[in-house]
Each structure stands twice: as C-alpha cells, then as structure tokens.
Amino acid sequence: MPLASDRPDTEQDRPHSGVHVDAETDPDAAEGAIKVSRGPVPLATILTVFAIAIALVVVWKLSFVMLMGFAGVLLAIALRNSAIFIARFTGIPPTVGVFLVLGLVLLAVAALIANAGPEIAQQMRQLINAIPKAWTQVTQWLSNSTIGNLLINQMSESGNVVRDGASASGASGPPAGTFNGIFGFVRGTLNAATGGIANLVLIVTVAIFLAINPGPYIQGALLLVPVPRRERAAAIVQELGDKLWSWLAGQALDMLVVATLSGLGLWLLGIPLALALGIIAGLTNVIPYIGPFLGGAPAVLFALTQGPRDAINVLVLFIVIQQLEGNVIMPLIQRRAAGLPPVMTIFGVIGFGVLFGLPGILVAAPLMVVAMVLVQRLYIEGVLGDDLPAHKPEKSDAA
C-alpha cells in the first residue's frame, strides 16, 4: 500500500502560492525555490513615499511651531465661543464680542496687578530675606543627622559644599565661579522670560485672527480633502471644535473651583497674597497631575515667611483640595464635558512631555481629545466599520 508521501503530487494537491513556477525553464524549481517577479516600482509610489518621509521630518522639525499653532487654535475656540455666548444675551455681533472678551480679561489682569502687585513685591522681598535663615536651619539639621553628615561629606569631597561660611578647601570667600553662575542663571531666566512673552503675544495674535473670522481658514483646510469626503471631513472638524470647547469649558469651571477653594482656604489660614496664590493654583491646575504641584509650591514658599507651621497647614490644604477636585468635582464636570480616561491622560502627558518637553505637557490633554476623536471617526468607523454614537453639533453662530 503506497504511503501518502509516495503519491505524486497532483495539480489539485499542490499549494497555490500565487506565483507560477515552471520546472522546465527554472533550474531552481526542482528544489522548491519560489521566484518572485520584480517589476519596476511606479514613479508615483516612489514620490509618495518620499513625500510622506519629508512631511514627517518637517512636522518633527517644526513641532514647536505646530504646538504654538494648536495653542492659538485652543485660545481662538475659547474666544469665539465666549463671544457667541455673550452675543446671545446682548445681541452684539460675535466679532465685537471677541474684543469685548479680550477687554474683560485685560481689565481683570490689570486690576489684579494693581491690587496685588505691591504686596507680591513685598512678600517676595520677605521670602528672599528668609531664604538664608531657612538654609541655615536645613544645614544645621543635616549636621545633626547621620544621613545629613554623610551627604555633606560626599559633597565636601567634590568641593561643592560650604561649611560655616567657608568652602571645603578652607577659603573664606565664595567660590570663584559663584558670580559667573549667578550671572548665567539671571541671564538665562531673562532670556526664557523674554521668549515666553514673545511666544504668548504670537499665540494671542493668531487666536484673535482665528476667532474674528474662522470661516476662511476652515474652508481652506477642507479644500485639501478630496471632494467626495469633504462633507465627512467637515463633520469631523465640527466635532473636534465642539469637543475642544467642551474640554475648555470643563477645565475653566474646574480651575474656577480650585482657585476659589485655594484662595478662601489661604485667607482663612491667614496667608498673605491669598487671592493671587489662589489664582495661580487655579491656572496651573490645567496641567494634569503636574499643575497642582506647580500651584502649591508658591503658596508653601510664601507660608514659610509666616513660619513652618503655616507651611505645613498650606500643604495639607492643597492636598485636601486636590483630593476633593480629583474624586468629586472633576467627575461631576466630566459628565457634560469631553472627559478623557485617566490612563489616557497620564500616558498623553508622559508621551508628549518626552517628545516636546514643557510645551507638549501644557497641551497634552487637548491633543489627546483630538487623537481620541480622530481614532473613533477615521479608524473605528472608517476602517473597522463599527457604529459609534453620532455627534450632535452644538447650535452656535460660529459661521
């Protein structure tokens, strides 16, 4: 009885690889080799690959500019929708409402500077004067502890620590590079502040032009989409605008609550600059998971001018506020706003922070909102074919 392996292969038994092999003309066919035809690659394919590669390089090189543009778009959405909200009650055109919103914001900032500016300067002087005393207390505590002595000895060996007004080498004056280091720090701080102000002015300028008349820019972007898909693209753009506005409104409400609770709590604790520190806490709260630390640090530092006990009380106050905000306030707001899952937000902050630094962290959450909408509409619906709940456009006079 012949075995199955001894039977000659028939045409029906042979696996179809999609490539025709001729055993008579191809000497490698007897050994089971498969020849793949190598036709010329179309020029259009080569150009498309090069165009995609060049576009990715340009996007990477201009990432900071694109992040600034995205920040301008966010501010434009906030200005435009706020102007539309005011126009519903006053009847003024949205274009005029944009300038009215800007005027109100500038008036509030000017009032804050006029009222809190002198006090902030006074408290800053007190804080600077208190730093040497606080540093002396820290060094004394380190000298009286085993771990502190170990750290001081390690730093003394490298010549980086100063003991009792003298350097590790025994000299009685400051190190030679101290003044150069201070000058470099001040110069770097001034350059960073100047660049930050210039970038802020540019973002606000872009936002104003977009908020006054967004129609031509939206229509120009849609012209880049093939005609059969423009209606779908317009719907996605509308959804992106609505989702970003919902996120902005939710964040604004959350920032207002945090600023109010922080300012009221600091005022009850008798901490100076309670209003200004509360506003700082509310503004920095827009940065997920990092903002609370940035907002609480100035309050704790100013509380140190009052004493260590006040600093501890302020620290406890901010911990309680952040627990209340994260577990009670924000979940209630996210029911109506474009809420993001916490894990997505965390990975978004980490990812954009690694790629783009601080600017990426500042806009990580709204960028994740954009990414979520695009994945849902373009991939889950467009590629996989799943049915997702349709977006209900908000009624506005944005046109």
Query: 273's torsion region: left (phi>0), alpha (psi -120 to 50) or beta?
Result: left
Alpha-carbon gap, residue 60 to 55, rounded angstroms: 9
**What pLDDT is recorded for position 75?**
93
Token duo for residue 349: 């902050």
- For the record, the structure tokens of 18 come out as 């999609």
> Could you tell me the CA-to-CA distances from 232 to 222, 223, 235 in Å, in that order?
10, 13, 5
- Which amino acid is residue 150, in one-letter code? L
Q: What is the pLDDT of residue 155?
A: 57
**Could you tell me if 327 and 295 are in contact, meaning their C-beta atoms sit under 8 angstroms apart?**
no
Sign, CA torsion 378/379/382/386:
negative
pLDDT, position 74: 93
What is the residue-level pLDDT of the chain in tens, covering all 399 positions? 444 444 444 444 444 444 444 545 555 544 555 555 566 767 777 888 888 888 888 878 888 888 999 999 999 999 999 999 888 888 888 888 899 999 998 898 888 788 777 776 776 676 666 667 666 766 676 677 666 666 666 655 544 444 444 444 444 444 445 455 555 655 666 677 787 788 888 999 999 999 999 989 999 989 988 888 999 999 999 999 999 998 888 888 888 999 999 989 999 998 877 888 888 888 888 887 778 888 888 888 878 777 778 888 999 999 999 888 877 777 777 666 666 777 787 888 888 888 888 888 888 888 988 998 999 888 888 888 888 877 777 655 444
Residue 211: what pLDDT? 92
Place of tokens 């609370």: 292
CA distances from 151 to 2, 7, 145, 155, 159 (A): 84, 82, 10, 6, 12
Q: Tell me, letter by letter, the H, E, C secondary structure of 105-148.
A: HHHHHHHHHHHHHHHHHHHHHHHHHHHHHHHHHHHHHHHCCHHH
Would the pTM count as exceeding 0.75?
A: no
Q: What are the tokens at 210?
A: 């977009």
Detail the DSSP E strand segments found in the chain: 162-163, 166-167
Task: Give me the residues paired with residue 363 across strands.
Answer: none
| Residues 259-287 as b or e (16 or more Cβ within 10 Å = b) | bebbbebbeebebbbbbbbbbbbbebbbb
Domain ranges of the chain: 47-147+179-379
Q: Whole-angstrom Cα distance, residue 206 to residue 211? A: 9
pLDDT given for residue 350 in this prediction? 87
pLDDT in tens, 190-214: 677 787 788 888 999 999 999 999 9
